[in-house]
Amino acid sequence: MKKVLFLSALIVIITLVGCSNNSNTASTGNNPAGTKDSAGAGSGPDTSDKADAADKAGNADKGDNADKGDNRELIVAGQEIAASLDPVKPLTSSYLRNIGAAEALFKVDAGGKVQPELAESAAEVDPTTWEIELRPEARFWSGKAIDADAVIASLERSKSLDLQAKPFLEELTFAKKDDYTLQVKTKRSHMQVPLNLSYYQTVIHNAEAKHDAIGTMDLTGMYKVVEFSPKQKMILALNENYWGKKPVIQRVVYEEISDEQTRVLSVLSGRSQVALNIGTTSLAQFRDSKEAKISATPAANTQTIYLNLGKPQFEDVRVRQALSWALNREELVILAAEGESIPVSTWLGSNPAFAEAKNAVYIKFDPDKAAELLDEAGWALGSEGIRYKDGKPLTLRLMTWGGDKALGEALQNQWTSVGVKAEVQHGDYSLIQTARESGDWDASIEAWSTFGDELTLLTGQYAPEGSANYGGFNDAETNQLLARLAEESDGAARNKLALQINERVAGQAPVISLFPRPQITAVSGKLHGFQDHFRQFENTVNANLTLDSK
């Protein structure tokens, strides 16, 4: 759902991206940064009371709940909010879905199961054909019907204009069977079409509307955007014509507060009811708090260093492998994640379905192995502790953003110990995007989600034209394995091929995998119905939320 995002300053996730909140995000995936499906373990709150409150909210009507609490306004503080209102712009769809303004045909629940959202049902007709029944009662904010024509137009617009949507849509062909039935043809057999159409990059929007202003944008969610200041504040009001269960809370304020400590203070003081992207260094402030508790749900993503293979120092695979062997991942988890994660040495290692990949390839911290590889590659250690080749030092400039400053500094120290002249450039995610466009970068960090269809995810990361293949990885053996995966329909065989691709990539080291990014949210004790979710970056607001009286 990667980058992520998914990607710098206020809300989720990046993903990744992913965004790689992104993802990135980015996370973010990715959200690059946005894709911030991170795995933040830790002492989460006791959710039994919240579950009871959610049940009560689900069985009570709007008036009853409004009388019992102050449900006029929910304030959510995030590290970053959208710079645009158009769902096809980077990470915008993640922020809109997260806050209850946008929906897709399907949604993944907290248990990892794909559930219908704007779709009513879905069925696989034959190995390469699915039919999706739409909800005839669903409407856009404008009142326009969400019929087959509208859905196809939306998905085709996302496919052509949103690079993050391409991995989920490019193998699908959409056709209208009747007004409320969508036929989906797939390029390969037994694709998980509902899963592909659950990602936030596939949110349904009115493709005929202009999405450059609040007065013309047209989405489907339970809340409508009524005020927007890019990267500052988004205010949403109840959509009175919402097709589904109407929320109790009447208005949502989504604020960008880039400074983490300010976000922490906002929820501890009661000014906001939800604060997103809480760093591990702030956990101690919530241990004895009666005002707010921490939600830290493990997520399937991998904090990843992407290397620019166009840089001369990274052309030799031995240098890239050395950079990975030189890392003490257990120490990184402690220094950069306060112990709220687990080390992984390959990208798929954070996905529970591929647990055996967690410690594959780079089975231990081995600086001696790293030194040996660098010697073989011709990088000799100089008297001042830096390695040189042909009179030039072995340099690495690592770009970080959001909460990854401490991680960058820890990586710098570990690489320096094996003779790499490493430096860290910390700033806004936009700096990373600009550097990638110009080619002027060595390495950057994002955390894309590893949850989903194996081919879609691995193609997006490692195929030559993959949207998250930032470093330009193009490996013949990996490409052949991806082609075999595309033709394989047997589940066990697909799993085996995915593991082979994962191991091959780790061995070639165009990326370096570290640990799942912690995903930590602070929630007011006065807010009930909040649901912990492994994709929290797109699941903050739900219809069951209620607030106690102030």
Global confidence as pTM: 0.65
| Residue 419 contacts residue 381 (beta carbons within 8 Å) | yes
Local confidence band at 254 (pLDDT 50, 70, 90 cut-offs): very high
Q: Which of 58-72, 96-110, 314-328 has the lowest mean pLDDT?
A: 58-72
pLDDT the model gives residue 550? 62
User: Which is higher by pLDDT, 469 or 280?
Assistant: 469
Over residues 423-450, the mean pLDDT reads 94
Adjacent-strand bridge partners of 73: 251
H or E element, residue 274: strand 274-275
Please give the average per-residue pLDDT across 194-212, as a whole number: 95
The pLDDT score that the predictor gives to residue 298 is 64
What is the structure's pLDDT at 69?
A: 55
* pLDDT score of 471: 97
Give the domain ranges of the chain.
301-515
pLDDT at 433: 93
Does residue 29 register a pLDDT over 80? no
Which element (helix H / strand E) includes 476?
A: helix 476-487
Rounded average pLDDT over 426-442: 95
Tell me the percentage of the chain whose pLDDT exceeds 70.
87
What share of the chain in percent tops pLDDT 90?
70
Question: Which pLDDT tens digit goes with each residue over 263-279?
Answer: 999 999 999 999 999 98
End-to-end CA distance of the chain: 35
Residue 9: the pLDDT is 32
Question: Whole-angstrom Cα distance, residue 461 to residue 467?
Answer: 7
- C-alpha closest to that of 425 among 400, 394, 456, 388: 400
Mean pLDDT, the chain, rounded, equals 86
- What does the pLDDT read at residue 518? 79
- Averaged over 421-433, what is the pLDDT? 95
Q: Tell me the chain's radius of gyration from C-alpha atoms.
A: 23
Mean pLDDT within 84-110: 94
Whether the predicted pLDDT of 510 surpasses 50: yes
> 301-515 adopts what CATH topology?
Dipeptide-binding Protein; domain 3 (3.10.105)
Per-residue pLDDT, 41? 25
C-alpha 89/C-alpha 217 separation (Å) is: 13
- Residue ranges of alpha helices (H) inside 211-255 are none
pLDDT at 497 over 90: yes
Q: In the predicted model, is pLDDT for residue 56 greater than 60? A: no
